[in-house]
């Protein structure tokens, strides 16, 4: 349980305290910055030296604009309202803790389900966290600690570790766990078919554009829930969910703290070239962008890269 608790503590510490302000002195920053030399030369388009807040903000805007154009990002209007949702079922899972399964529209004619876990006392302004599931058949059930169909009715210890929405809600957070678009229902992964169907409906957009759009809509829903402090919003995800957490934090400034666990932060480190993510172009030698630009766009908000496996390296934090 140690690594799961580390992620939860990382989110909790930032969301329950004041986030960093752009331009604030960070005493340890020089110790962790990449030094010039051979290592830096391997980075595609290294981030230039930025000598002022204005230069940093300009670089971040340019990076996000460039990535939006590449993704074919769906338009998100500034004056939009949160999607209206239907409550499919609701119960008190523990004393003082409720769980709702909701459904709301994403693309026209397309809807997703999500779980909301929250303390029943809504009189207190609480941090809110959007929790993304990993690549498991039972999708959003993983986030809230419901049974793993592949292992009978009982949760395995590994699956319970990944019930981040449940762990956070027990600590006083409001959580929303939305289903990724690659699942046509809560128990069926159809990555190839669903990714292709999206591209046929949106030939100018990449699959990651849909994931990002859905994530932003999920934050809209989360922020509209009773008792959520919209100044303290975070994101957590493992594997597939880590990819969503990275993109959401980069593109949505409402996210004050994000955890990306074992998602492969570099394009070369994971299957980012899959049709339902970014497509094969990103693995070509001519493609010059990479995700260090998105990490730079998150600064100075808190971002924790967490890895102990094949993608982000041994003991990466």
Interval 268-297 mean pLDDT: 94
What pLDDT score was predicted for residue 316? 41
What pLDDT score was predicted for residue 23? 47
- 């709301």: which residue's tokens? 104
More confident residue, 220 or 6: 220
Question: Is 3.40.50.720 the CATH classification of the domain at 2-14+81-306?
Answer: no
- Position 26 pLDDT exceeds 70: no
Highest mean pLDDT among 47-51, 126-130, 268-272: 126-130
pLDDT band at 14 (very low <50, low <70, confident <90, very high): low
CB 116 within 8 A of CB 176: yes
Q: Quick one: 87 exposed, middle or buried, by C-beta within 10 A (0-12, 13-18, 19+)? A: exposed
**CB environment 55-78: b (16+ within 10 A), e (fewer):** ebeebbeebbeebbebbebbeeee
Q: What is the rounded CA–CA span in Å between residue 256 and residue 260?
A: 13
153-206 confidence digits (pLDDT tens): 778 888 888 899 999 999 999 999 999 999 999 999 999 999 999 999 999 999
200-253 confidence digits (pLDDT tens): 999 999 999 999 999 999 999 999 999 999 999 999 999 999 999 999 999 999
Q: What is the rounded CA–CA span in Å between residue 254 and residue 218?
A: 12
Query: What's the whole-model pTM score?
Result: 0.88
Average pLDDT of the chain is: 87
What pLDDT score was predicted for residue 40? 43
What pLDDT score was predicted for residue 45? 87
CB 19 within 8 A of CB 256: yes
Q: What is the rounded CA–CA span in Å between residue 317 and residue 302?
A: 13
In three-state secondary structure terms, 65 is helix
What pLDDT score was predicted for residue 312? 66
- State residue 212 phi and psi, 5-degree precision: -65, -45
41-44: long-range pairs with CB below 8 Å, 24+ = 43/290, 43/292, 44/287, 44/288, 44/289, 44/290
Tokens of 112: 């997703």
| DSSP structure class, residue 268 | G
CB 192 within 8 A of CB 275: yes
Residue 139's CB is within 10 A of a number of other CB atoms, namely: 25
What pLDDT score was predicted for residue 16? 66
Percent above pLDDT 90 for the chain: 72
């Amino acid at each position: 349980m140690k690594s799961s608790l580390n992620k939860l503590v990382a989110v909790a510490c930032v969301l329950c305290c004041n986030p960093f302000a752009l331009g604030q002195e960070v005493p340890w920053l020089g110790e962790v910055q990449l030094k010039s030399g051979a290592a830096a030369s391997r980075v595609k388009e290294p981030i230039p030296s930025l000598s002022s807040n204005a230069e940093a903000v300009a670089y971040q805007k340019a990076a996000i604009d460039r990535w939006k154009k590449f993704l074919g990002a769906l338009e998100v209007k500034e004056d939009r309202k949160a999607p209206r949702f239907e409550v499919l079922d609701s119960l008190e899972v523990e004393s003082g803790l409720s769980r709702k399964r909701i459904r709301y529209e994403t693309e026209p004619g397309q809807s997703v389900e999500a779980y909301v876990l929250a303390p029943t006392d809504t009189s207190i302004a609480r941090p809110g966290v959007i929790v993304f599931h990993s690549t498991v058949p039972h999708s959003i059930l993983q986030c809230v600690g419901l049974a793993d169909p592949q292992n009978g009715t009982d949760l395995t210890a590994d699956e319970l570790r990944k019930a981040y929405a449940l762990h956070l809600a027990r600590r006083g957070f409001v959580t929303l766990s939305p289903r990724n678009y690659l699942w046509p229902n809560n128990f069926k992964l159809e990555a190839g078919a669903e990714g292709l169907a999206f591209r046929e409906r949106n030939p100018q957009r990449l699959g990651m554009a849909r994931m990002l759009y859905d994530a932003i809509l999920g934050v809209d829903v989360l922020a509209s829930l009773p008792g959520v402090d919209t100044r303290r919003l975070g994101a957590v995800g493992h594997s597939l969910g880590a990819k969503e957490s990275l993109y959401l934090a980069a593109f949505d400034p409402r996210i004050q703290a994000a955890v990306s666990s074992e998602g492969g932060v570099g394009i070369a480190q994971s299957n980012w070239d899959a049709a339902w993510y970014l497509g094969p172009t990103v693995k070509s030698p001519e493609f010059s962008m990479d995700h260090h630009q998105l990490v730079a766009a998150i600064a100075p908000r808190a971002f924790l890269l967490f890895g102990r496996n094949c993608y982000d390296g041994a003991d990466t934090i």
